[in-house]
Amino acid sequence: MAGDLLLFLPEAACLLMALALFGLSLPRVQDQRRVHSWTMGLSLVMVAAGLAGLFQEGSLFFEAYRVDLFSQFFKLLLAVALFLVLSICRQLTGVEERYQPEFFLFLTTCTLGMMLMVSAVELMTLYVALELSSFSLYILVPLRSGDNIDVEAGVKYLFIGITASCVMLFGMSYIFGAVHSTYLAKIAATLPLWIHQPGAVIGLLLTLSGLLFKLAAFPFHFWAPDVYQGAANQVTTYIATASKAAAVALLIRLTALSAGTSLYLLDVLMALCVASMTLGNLAAMVQSDLKRMLAYSSVAHAGYVLMGVLTMTRLGYSSAMFYSLAYMVMNFAAFMVVVKVASGGQDLKISDLAGLHRRAPLLALTLMLALFSLAGIPPTVGFTGKFLVFAAAMQDGHFWLVLVGMINATLSLYYYLMVIKAAYLAEPAGPREALAVSGPTRALNYALIAAMVYLGLFPRQVLELAEQAVRNIF
Amino acid sequence: MGEALQQQLAYVGYGLYLLLIIAGGLAAVMSTSLVRALMGLILTLFGVAGMFLLMNAPFLAFMQILIYVGAVSVLIFFAIMLTKTPEGEAGAENMLEWIGMRAGLAVLAALTPAIIMATLIVKKAPAALALKPEVTLAQLGEFLTGPFVLAFELISVVLLAAMAGAVVLGFERRKGK
């Protein structure tokens, strides 16, 4: 029993944190500072729980829930992502003050859903966990105070999300019809026999589309620009970091079911990969709103991750895992700068960054490194991530795919450099006062810079962990 | 009744329910009036209940009619009535009374057939073909507390998030007006 509890430790910590936040949301008058400190403390406990649970292994809930290095890797990633996002919520300017505890509550329930999602090895459990995280995000997006852009974003997100869920459920029904089980282990054992039937491929593809929605891959990317722009900056940060990592985890788990035996599946994933990369990069070039640009760039990055996933080899999967970690770090760094520069919680135009290197040299430096990393320039983590993904695809014989990826990486350099140009070379139109950067923010900046460079130069430890984790599922 | 005849009747039933589902779905999507769209949805839900009966799951059919046709539809009716002022109605001066009366009638209109049909289904469950063994209540319970226990328990967390979110968003919007 105690051992079982240890297996469930990160999730239990997350659930307790959600309950504590629910309690904190009840009083009529709230001390904003105190709520935030409590939340930070609880989230630190969660990270600790994630670390403690990293090397646990076992099954829970009648084999519907599998705890192994693969799931624990992503759970730790999610706990860290939540901690990081909460750390930039000290001044929650985009959201009304009295909804602050609820805001944290929904972030926590969303993380809980994703944590359960990466461990679920039974389709119904997986679906309910996915819905838990989606519901929380549906609520978080329109929570932004002020103009009505959030309502439009919220409604769009809700409708596209529900449609994706329906499509996913429909796909699951096909799989269940073919295999007569909702357990992934049983499906993996039986599905290769069925994989040449159209029904099985359709089922698997439709099921995957629910995750492609989360990942904002083509053709499920329509929500991304509006939601990124319309949601409060902190929520966008969360969607752009944690939610992507969870989606990658599930994509890996579900594509591993087919064991790489289906050529149709491979063709479709390849087409989606190319379309996501190209469309995302081309659309990002013409954006003037920084968050919209980052949204389209996330569509492109979904394509890069897919390249690792579609190889369906151990190398490909571990490189995709590394890429999702890299993406989380560098994207968080970029969004952190957005949140700090937009101190009033407003949307940020790229031109608003003018003169940032004088107003806040440290933030400008972090932004530059983050964007270089997103573009894939050494010695940053983004370069290593791309290199690993491309190498895995190359080894699997997808030369053309890698070529398209390379061209796309070059294309993306253009719009990332435009932002750096705005931050470093452009002079602001009027006099702009210096941005105050507090001590903790400073420390966060240094930590992020260090992480981006260190992981870029020495990826071995994390990569080995990822390789070890992939062995559990494939 | 002979086996062959039963088989044929099952096909007829299947076609009938399928027709109900598709026609209801089309009505729900194509209609411009919210109330008519909801009627289409109800038709579809009836069809789905019929499918459950065909699959020898009378309990699910019962739940489908009682909860979806009965409760959920009435809830949606309420939502439509409370958010939209009725148009083109004479004597709208006494709104509250109108709404109250209509709400009462709506509940009556939706719940009465639902209850009658649901009891009929449970009392006189038609003898189904031996396609699949009947999923009994006990089996259903065992499934929900066995293999699907995590999903079952998780739904409570989903509901917590959904309800808290509804409260927060509802208050926010009302204040904005």
In degrees and rounded to multiples of 5, residue A67 shows phi and psi of -105, 115
pLDDT of residue A55: 83
Closest CA to A88 of A326, A294, A325, A337: A337
Q: Is A438 exposed, middle or buried (CB count within 10 Å of its CB: 0-12, 13-18, 19+)?
A: exposed
pLDDT of residue B124: 63
**Which residues on B lie below 8 Å from A60 (Cβ)?**
150
* C-alpha distances out from residue A425 to A243, A356, A410, A412, A420, Å: 34, 9, 21, 19, 8
Q: Is A387 on the interface with B (CB under 8 A)?
A: no
In degrees and rounded to multiples of 5, residue B38 shows phi and psi of -65, -40
Distance of alpha carbon B39 from alpha carbon B27, whole angstroms: 8
Q: Which of residues 149-168 of B touch A (CB under 8 A)?
A: 149-151, 154-155, 157-158, 160-162, 164-165, 168
Closest CA to B63 of B8, B137, B158: B137
**Which residues on A lie below 8 Å from B148 (Cβ)?**
64, 122, 124-125
Shortest alpha-carbon distance between residue A115 and chain B (Å): 12
Shortest alpha-carbon distance between residue B95 and chain A (Å): 29
Nearest CA in chain A to B161: A136
**Which residues on B lie below 8 Å from A25 (Cβ)?**
164
Shortest alpha-carbon distance between residue A97 and chain B (Å): 12
Q: Is B29 on the interface with A (CB under 8 A)?
A: no
Nearest to B150 among A18, A22, A125 (CB): A125
Shortest alpha-carbon distance between residue A262 and chain B (Å): 29
| CA terminus-to-terminus distance, chain B | 65
Q: Is B169 on the interface with A (CB under 8 A)?
A: yes
Domain boundaries along the sequence of chain B? 3-131, 133-177
* C-alpha distances out from residue A76 to A51, A60, A82, A120, B169, Å: 6, 19, 10, 16, 31
Output the 3-class SS for A135-176. Answer: HHHHHHHHHECCCCHHHHHHHHHHHHHHHHHHHHHHHHHHHH
Distance of alpha carbon A268 from alpha carbon A205, whole angstroms: 8
Q: Is B144 on the interface with A (CB under 8 A)?
A: no
Q: Is A128 on the interface with B (CB under 8 A)?
A: yes
Shortest alpha-carbon distance between residue A143 and chain B (Å): 7
Nearest to A132 among B147, B158, B172 (CB): B158
Q: Is B126 on the interface with A (CB under 8 A)?
A: no
- Residue B144 clears pLDDT 90, i.e. is over it: no
pLDDT of residue A272: 92
pLDDT of residue B84: 63
Structural fold of domain B3-131: Four Helix Bundle (Hemerythrin (Met), subunit A) (1.20.120)
Radius of gyration of chain A (CA): 21
Closest CA to A131 of A151, A155, A114, A152: A114
DSSP annotation of B69 reads: I
Q: Which position has the token pair 């939209």?
A: B84
Q: Is A195 exposed, middle or buried (CB count within 10 Å of its CB: 0-12, 13-18, 19+)?
A: buried
Shortest alpha-carbon distance between residue B177 and chain A (Å): 12
Q: Which of residues 10-39 of A touch B (CB under 8 A)?
A: 15, 18, 22, 25
CB A160 within 8 A of CB A214: no
Q: Do A64 and B168 touch (CB under 8 A)?
A: no
Q: Is A139 on the interface with B (CB under 8 A)?
A: yes
pLDDT of residue B177: 42
Q: Where are the alpha helices (DSSP H) in A217-262?
A: 223-230, 233-255
pLDDT by 10s per residue, chain A, length 474: 567 778 888 888 999 999 998 888 888 777 778 888 888 899 999 999 888 888 888 888 888 888 888 888 999 999 999 999 998 888 777 777 778 888 899 999 999 999 999 988 888 899 999 999 999 999 888 888 766 667 888 888 999 999 999 999 999 998 888 888 888 888 888 877 777 777 888 888 888 888 899 888 888 888 898 888 888 888 899 999 988 999 999 999 888 887 767 778 888 889 999 999 999 999 998 888 888 999 999 999 999 999 999 888 889 999 999 999 999 999 999 999 988 888 777 788 888 888 888 888 899 999 999 999 999 888 899 999 999 999 999 998 889 999 999 999 999 999 999 899 888 888 877 667 777 788 888 999 999 999 999 999 998 888 898 888 888 877
Q: Do B172 and A143 touch (CB under 8 A)?
A: yes
Q: Do B151 and A139 touch (CB under 8 A)?
A: no
Q: Is A142 on the interface with B (CB under 8 A)?
A: yes
Q: Is A347 on the interface with B (CB under 8 A)?
A: no
- Residue B122 clears pLDDT 70, i.e. is over it: no
Q: What is the CB neighbour count within 10 angstroms for residue A473?
A: 20
Q: Is B5 exposed, middle or buried (CB count within 10 Å of its CB: 0-12, 13-18, 19+)?
A: exposed
